[in-house]
Amino acid sequence: MARRPLPRILSTGSAQIARSRELARAQFARSRELARTATDSASDVLHPLITITRGLRRLASAGRRKWADTPKDRRGMLLFLVASVILVVALVPYGPLLAVITLMAAAAWQGRDRAPREPDGPDESQTERLRALYEALVPYFSTADDPAPLYAHGGEWEKAFPEYEFDGTGRISGLLIRYPAYFTDGEAQARARIEHLLTAKSGRGREYHFTWDEMGNELTVAVLAPLPTDIAAQRFVTAPGETVLGFTDPTQVQRTLPLTHGEIHRDVPPVVWRTGIRSTEPHLLALGQPGSGTSTLLRSIALQALRYGDVVIVEGGSTGEYACLIGRDGVLAVECGLAGALASLEWAATETERRLIAINRTRQAGNPPPDDTKRPLWILLDRPTAFSHLAAADNRKDPQSLLQVPLRHGRAANVTVVVADQWDAMDTLSDAVRQHTRARVVLGPATAEQLETVLGAPPHTTPVTDVPPGRGYARLGTGPVHRLQVPATPDPYDDATSDAQRQAVLDLLPERTTPVQAESLEKLERLEKPEKVEKADQEPEPVPADAVAAETS
């Protein structure tokens, strides 16, 4: 049976509705443009009248203030003087006309726009700075065979620098540089020479971001603002499998996280590291100098990992940086000795193999993975190379050799390994750690060569020597290099920690499940609840009067 065609009104109705909507939008845009044009034209025509009206209002306000400031016993004399002036003006030929003209001129002068005009170009000092920068770039952007060189000694710097900005101190804060097409902007060494020169001539001690436009033969130089260092540890709005390593510039990422700093709420762009079965960079390596914040990064990762998984911590420095996590829910072990580290890592390798076997069997049977293999397991190692020296001296197995199975098969078994160490121990890291840690973090001062060696690519900014703790760079896999500032996650049991940061970390700790010794428990309670302990020390319990009388007798 043949199908009857739809009525014409139904088949063309949607097209007519869409066409009418487009016409309505175009008409609305046209009317809005006409209204804006009419408003601009009216403001141009009525600008003198607006200026005179503003001036009359200011003159009237000045007259009222003068009348209010005049003492009451002199107001009569003031009125007599004003009346005399009005009478004289009225009797003088053409007096009223001259008075009106004078009043309009005074009103126009008082109603003028008093905002200071910005200079059309740079001042003398700024011109000298731009000319010196231009002369410094001449050897790099010019050749003897160029018939019309853009860069030449004594040339016009205005053509080479079409856009520029200066900060309050007179230093360059933004610059657009045009360079000839024959410059080898595709070579890293050529770029590095130009970036080093611009950093030296524009002012050291700041971080510059360089954007090379090879198609347009333009280089954009921008001064980056310092990253916020006052962000404390808190519960970040993330999904399972996402870990916030720190925070970066808003131009690098397209996502922000809502954060709280006291009573202030703000949105900051984060560097989010994704782990799990579908992650392309399941393990992380962090390097830095002593005091650069690698332990802070591990504590921040541990607090975030405990929300959804279990954590095993191996500390090679034996400084007690992770004592606050001992006995907490989800913390399987916190080892500071060689024997405990070997036992924990052997168990981690065995657990990884068990998970792989269980997942393989369930998949062959067509069933979902067991529940005990879905919970993430995190292995955090702080300075594992310190155990390598102890193991070699004691003729025991190197703990790093036990990381080969979790590193190689950890993604399939939902096991994540995080290694943090110092620069001087980089050569002693095992090959498995170097090969399988595709997420990299470098904290503290570092040279461009060191950053490129660890991250695999140079940063687009100039590293500085004086940086706060937790400041560095991060690169996830083959992605771009991000500036990074780790959230403040200090050891809450450290005396140098402020009360606000200590309380922020203590609020994130899970409940304690494993009992500890009585002396240790009393000390921990004193550190975790300082207000109650101080109150108890300051206000002792009252002693009964009978007991005092008996003691004195």
- Segment 401-430 shows an average pLDDT of 93
Residue 440 has pLDDT above 80, yes or no: yes
Q: Among 90-99, 229-238, 541-550, which stretch is predicted with the lowest mean pLDDT?
A: 541-550
Q: Do 214 and 321 fall into the same domain? A: no
For residue 510, the model assigns a pLDDT of 92
pLDDT at 207 over 70: yes
The verdict on 349 and 482 lying in the same domain is yes
The Cα 204–Cα 434 span in angstroms is: 33
Mean pLDDT of 207-217: 90
pLDDT tens digit string along 126-167? Answer: 889 999 999 999 999 998 888 889 999 988 898 999 999 888
Count other C-beta atoms under 10 Å from residue 468's C-beta.
Answer: 14
Number of other residues whose CB lies within 10 A of the CB of residue 188: 11
Q: Which pLDDT band, with edges at 50, 70 and 90, does 24 fall under?
A: low
At a CB cut-off of 8 Å and minimum separation 6, what does 178 contact?
Answer: 150, 159, 160, 161, 162, 217, 218
DSSP string, 383-435: STHHHHHHHHHTT---GGGGGHHHHHHTTTTTEEEEEEEEGGGGGGS-HHHHH
Same domain, 322 and 295: yes
Q: What is the mean pLDDT of the chain?
A: 83
209 with 340, same domain: the answer is: no
Q: What is the DSSP letter of 513?
A: -
Select the highest-mean-pLDDT range: 7-16, 297-306, 315-324.
Answer: 297-306
244 band by pLDDT with thresholds 50, 70 and 90: very high
Q: Which residue bears the tokens 């005990």?
A: 372
- Residues 409, 271, single domain; the answer is yes
State whether 419 and 338 are in the same domain: yes
Helix ranges restricted to H, 46-176: 47-69, 75-91, 95-110, 124-137, 157-160
Q: Which of 230, 234, 171, 179 is closest to 206 using CA atoms?
A: 171
Do 211 and 254 belong to one domain? no
* Among 203, 190, 69, 81, residue whose Cα is nearest residue 137: 190
**Number of domains composing the chain:** 2
Please check whether residue 462 lies inside any domain of the structure.
Answer: yes
- Residue for token pair 């609840």: 529
Q: How far, in Å, CA of 469 to CA of 296, rounded?
A: 9
Within a domain: residue 34?
no
- Whether residue 534 is contained in a domain is answered as no
- Domain boundary pick from 469, 485, 507: 507
Whether residues 452 and 482 share a domain: the answer is yes
pLDDT band per the 50, 70, 90 thresholds, residue 173:
confident
Q: What is the pLDDT of residues 277-319, one digit of tens each?
A: 889 999 999 999 998 999 999 999 999 999 999 999 999 887 8
Q: Using CA atoms, how far apart are residues 167 and 173, in angstroms rounded to an integer?
A: 6
- Report the side by side order of strands in the sheet with 481-485: 270-274, 242-247, 481-485, 471-476, 439-443, 284-288, 415-422, 377-382, 310-315, 331-335
Confidence check: pLDDT of 417 > 50? yes
Q: Which CA distances in Å does 204 have to 50, 130, 133, 209?
A: 49, 16, 14, 13
Query: 549 lies in a domain?
Result: no
Last residue of a domain, one of 175, 191, 223: 223
pLDDT of residue 33: 72
Evaluated on CA atoms 434, 439, 445, 451, the torsion sign reads positive
Per-residue CA distances from 189 to 194, 196, 220, 462 (Å)? 9, 10, 18, 14
Q: What percent of the chain has pLDDT over 90?
A: 41
Cβ contact 414:376 at 8 Å:
yes
Q: Are residues 205 and 353 in the same domain?
A: no
Q: Are 496 and 461 in contact (CB under 8 A)?
A: no
Is there a contact between 191 and 212 (Cβ–Cβ < 8 Å)? Answer: yes
Instruction: Kindly report the CATH number assigned to the domain that includes residue 251.
Output: 3.40.50.300
pLDDT band of residue 71 (cuts 50, 70, 90) is: confident
Mean pLDDT of 77-82: 82
Distance CA 255, CA 271 (A): 9
Comparing 530 with 426, the larger pLDDT belongs to 426
Question: Is 331 a residue whose pLDDT tops 70?
Answer: yes
pLDDT digits (tens, 9 = 90+) for 378-408: 999 999 999 988 888 888 989 999 999 999 9
Which pLDDT band, with edges at 50, 70 and 90, does 274 fall under? very high
Domain membership of residue 31 (yes or no) is no
State the residue range of the domain holding 454: 242-507
Q: Note the pLDDT of residue 115.
A: 58
| CB 373 within 8 Å of CB 306 | no
Residue 9 pLDDT grade (very low, low, confident, very high; cuts 50, 70, 90): very low
Q: Kind of pairing, strands 208-213 and 218-223?
A: antiparallel
pLDDT score at 392:
87
pLDDT-derived band at 533 (thresholds 50, 70, 90) equals very low
Residue 258 domain flag: yes
**Of 189, 223, 257, which residue constitutes the final position of a domain?**
223
Tell me whether residue 357 is in a domain.
yes
- 183 with 326, same domain? no
- Same structural domain for residues 256 and 209? no
Verify that 260 and 164 share a domain, yes or no. Answer: no
* Higher per-residue pLDDT: 2 or 309: 309
Q: Does 239 score more than 70 pLDDT?
A: yes
198 belongs to a structural domain: yes
